[in-house]
Structure 1
Amino acid sequence: MNKFLSIISKPIVVTLLVITADQWLKIWVKTNMYLSQEFPVIGNWFYIHFTENKGMAFGMEFGGDWGKLALSLFRIVAVCGIGYYLFKVLPKDAHKGLKISVALIFAGAIGNILDSAFYGIVFNESFNQIAMFLPKEGGYASFLHGWVVDMFWFPLLEGNFPNWLPFWGGEHFLFFRPVFNIADASISTGIGLVFTFNKRFFQKKEKEE
């Protein structure tokens, strides 16, 4: 058991597992559901809800086609930097938690880049239809202009703000509204772990200095 845990906690294994799970689920959703289709997983608070966005985490968009291209290029540069840090700069004796955290960020970034880079080429649109892989008429977008597939939705709390509340009084609210994917969750988890355990992760280095 310890040997198994040691293997799956290696950065390269973490990276491959996250990318594989992320892409498998995205391709399944893309080829089995049409846009905005959903089904409950657990009660009324966890749904698989198919949506697509222009590339930012949790369904956010940025600057149209040029913004999409800039975001994709930035991600590629960032992934190269993170990968270099993970496999070349990070010491072999670095805290295992730090290695796993960086690997989660690295894998999540790659997962969403794959959508942006290739999904527009290999799939057609999902609006009112289930997308086809390698359609005869070609894909719906060019290289680096594909849309990121999101599917996890947790509408945990829904209602209206009290009327006496300034600015938002009486307005409808929904928590948690954003729809996200495994790659988004992987990035958020990795960043959260680094912020939460940064003293522990970098403790050895600080002592040596």
Structure 2
Amino acid sequence: MIQKSPYKYFLLTLFLIALDQGVKLAVHFYMAPGFAGQVKVAGDWLKLHYVLNPGMAFGMQLGHEYGKLLLSIFRLFAMVGIGYYLVSLAHRGAPNGLLWAMAMILAGAVGNVIDSTFYGVFLNNAPYGSPTPWFHGQVIDMIFVDVWEGFIPEWVPVWGGQYYSTPIFNIADSCIFVGVCIILFFQRRFFGEPPIEDSLLPISGPDAVEASVLPASEFLDEDDEQKPMNKETETSSDDSQQPTPESVIPEEPKRLD
């Protein structure tokens, strides 16, 4: 496969990061948190709702004293790993759809890393009692798809008896979700076997190059090369056995007495 440059995919990543951070900062400075600042975008089911998320995507959290710090460190390593994997896929000539999906996932990871790392310092939104504002910033969420909200029945394990609503998320979460869905839906195309015509050709080495420049006569067997010569000799030998007009002696006419 042909190697591809990863730069155009990183441009998509940078664009999505800028979009995510721009929306988050606009929500922080121009919207009131909670239901007081809620804005309806499309009826009652799509709204802008400013909330702070101290945990993972879609409001999930790690219930540990150092859970936030561990999550921030994990996000940093995940960001570096995804970026390296994107470059590796591009150099191996991976399908464009897979590279665009990885660029979206990278943008989502970087967007939430920025929130966790810096928002506790610059926006002063670290949870109360945090040992340090660094790496304890809360992620700003604002997209609220209000499909369902209410109390979960008591018989449901773990979450029973508590009030829940559909998750509130941000653009970075959306990038991760959409990128993962694209990879899952098209995994056969992205990670399937190479085409038949590619698998029949040599992967590397001088033979692949030489095969494209050698003349056709180099691929003929010795028997094939000798066949035209044998045919010529056969025709010449047949011609030599046929009598020529000069070699034919006419018979003498018989005398009648």
SS at match of 1:34: coil
1:142 matched to 2:142: no
TM-score by length of 1: 0.77
SS at match of 1:108: helix
SS at match of 1:62: coil
Deviation at 1:55?
Answer: 3.1
Residue aligning to 2:69 = 69
Q: What letter corresponds to residue 23 of structure 1 in structure 2?
A: Q
Deviation at 1:91?
Answer: 3.1
SS at match of 2:143: strand
SS at match of 2:91: coil
1:202 matched to 2:191: yes
Residue aligning to 2:111 = 111
State whether residues 65 and 145 of structure 1, in contact with CA within 8 Å, keep that contact through their aligned partners in structure 2: no
The one of 163, 167, 173 equivalent to 2:155 is 167
Deviation at 1:11?
Answer: 1.0
Aligned length: 183
Deviations 1:151-199 (A, max 9, x none): 00011245789xxx9936xx8987x610000000000111111011001
Greater shift, 72-81 or 30-39, is seen at: 30-39
Highest RCO, 1 vs 2 (Cα 8 Å, sep ≥ 6):
1
Greater shift, 83-92 or 107-116, is seen at: 83-92
The one of 10, 14, 23 equivalent to 1:16 is 14
Of all paired residues, the percent bearing the same amino acid is 38
Deviations 1:107-127 (A, max 9, x none): 100000000000111113499
Residue aligning to 1:99 = 99
TM-score by length of 2: 0.63
Q: What letter corresponds to residue 150 of structure 1 in structure 2?
A: D
Distance 1:106 1:206, change over 3 A: farther
Distance 1:172 1:125, change over 3 A: closer
Segments of structure 2 that go 5 or more residues without pairing to the other structure are 1-6, 200-257
Deviation at 1:54?
Answer: 1.2
State the superposition RMSD in angstroms.
2.9
Residue aligning to 2:208 = none
Segments of structure 1 that go 5 or more residues without pairing to the other structure are 1-8, 128-140
1:151 matched to 2:116: no
State whether residues 51 and 151 of structure 1, in contact with CA within 8 Å, keep that contact through their aligned partners in structure 2: yes
Deviations 1:40-91 (A, max 9, x none): 0111010000001113000111134410000110110111111001013443
- Partners of 1:172 and 1:69 lie apart in 2 by 27
Larger radius of gyration: 2
Residue aligning to 1:185 = 174
Distance 1:160 1:88, change over 3 A: closer
Deviation at 1:92?
Answer: 5.0
Deviation at 1:10?
Answer: 3.0
Distance 1:10 1:47, change over 3 A: same
The one of 30, 50, 64 equivalent to 1:32 is 30
- Partners of 1:206 and 1:151 lie apart in 2 by 44
Deviation at 1:143?
Answer: 1.0
Distance 1:95 1:204, change over 3 A: farther
Q: What letter corresponds to residue 24 of structure 1 in structure 2?
A: G
